[in-house]
Amino acid sequence: METPRERSTRDEQCAFLLALTGKQIQKADPGSRDAVAKRRLFKVLANCIWDWASMPRLGNPSPFDVRSLEGLMWIPHRFGALGVVSPALEYDVDREHGLWVQPENLFACGIFATYGVKVLDPPDHPRFGFPKDIPYAIREASGLESREWYYWERLAELYAPLSDEALDGLASCRTATAAFHSLWIQLIVWCEDVSLVAEVIESARGELTQKQLELIEKRIGYAAAAASNFSIKASYWRKRRDIAREAARVFEGTEFEGHLPSAIEIPDCPFASHLDALLNLEAVVHSVSVLFEGPCNSIDLGPRKGKISFEDGEKALLMLSDGPPGPIDSVQELGRLWFGRRALAISEFAIWLVASLSGRAGREVGIEIKTRRAHYRDFERLYNPLHKLRAPSPPGASGAR
């Protein structure tokens, strides 16, 4: 059990490393207008966190003497893997799924506010203005060894200029275990958002209110994005060597050359061997997405109205024909659903699609599709690969936990 002082020290170190990361991204991007996009901050952090957790295993002994850093988390996400902060102390802000705090809220909290990070631009697409320099006295007061903050700052500096695809591909799919989690979360997001749409339609039992329509519209878009992201992450895995080569070039001539970016597979991890089975669901994910979104479009719901044809639906139905029989098992029945403009019938079919995808994930991959909150709770407690990857902090790392 950590003492309040230990929790405060943990937050001090997280705040310091977060500020270092933002400073390096801002410095690397001349077009940033002295501000860092939230997505880029998340992606650079994710890659730094993964490499940091790997560093104690890079040789025997490892040339990189660093401690385990609690509070900085790698998480799979609907936007691809992110690096986030789970503060040790409780602040008067919401935690996403009970775990991490969004940076725009975090920078107003306790020690995280002391670096003067400015939150800029609209709330839905914030950018952050970081300090241009962090004096040595502040670095020394962080409680980290000088070599540790040097290594972290170098990692952030090297990752900062990479392309968005390289950052996302490495963050999400640098190992089979990472790829597995990045794909699994897309299934969870799709099932949860489609279930919510069906629930709202069912509860309305008639005319939908404007608020309900806006919620449905948003969630149909989220579900479509999850299906698309499943394919994007699958493509990252297929071209992972090209992505790794792009990243490796920036490490040439540094002390990290030949060591990073790390692709060490997680020891004793049950997921890596099931990745191919999960990848095999790609066509199924696309098909259930088409069969949900197409009929929704026919009643003017969803952001891609007119983009999905009935012929697309016919192909999708054929793709699912090798699974358990469903309520729609012929082109004629699909036509009645697609053009019948009956919201309740669409919601009932959506519930079956969720059950069908969840069932296949269970039978063919051996995974359970829960709510996001329940999944993240299990992820942090049972599945987080970096908990398994981290070695005990080396004796030379003072303050190591």
- pLDDT class of 111 with cuts at 50, 70, 90: very high
Determine if residue 33 is left, alpha or beta; phi over 0 gives left, psi from -120 to 50 gives alpha, anything else beta.
left
Amino acid (one-letter) located at 16: F
Q: Residue 308 above 90 pLDDT?
A: yes
Residue 388: CB atoms within 10 Å: 13
The pLDDT of 4-17, averaged and rounded, is 95
Give the pTM.
0.93
The confidence score (pLDDT) of residue 170 equals: 97
The confidence score (pLDDT) of residue 128 equals: 96
The pLDDT of 203-224, averaged and rounded, is 92
Share of the chain above pLDDT 90, in %: 80
The pLDDT of 143-159, averaged and rounded, is 96
* Range of lowest pLDDT (137-151, 250-264, 377-391): 377-391
pLDDT tens figures, 17-67? 999 999 999 999 766 668 999 999 999 999 999 999 999 888 888 899 898
pLDDT tens figures, 231-277? 999 999 999 999 999 999 999 999 999 999 999 887 667 788 999 99
Determine if residue 366 is left, alpha or beta; phi over 0 gives left, psi from -120 to 50 gives alpha, anything else beta.
left
Q: Residue 174 above 70 pLDDT?
A: yes
Which two three-digit tokens encode residue 61?
Answer: 């002994």
- pLDDT class of 395 with cuts at 50, 70, 90: very low
Pairing of strands 72-75, 82-85: antiparallel
The confidence score (pLDDT) of residue 397 equals: 38
The confidence score (pLDDT) of residue 400 equals: 31
pLDDT tens figures, 78-90? 999 999 999 999 9
pLDDT tens figures, 357-377? 999 999 999 999 999 999 999
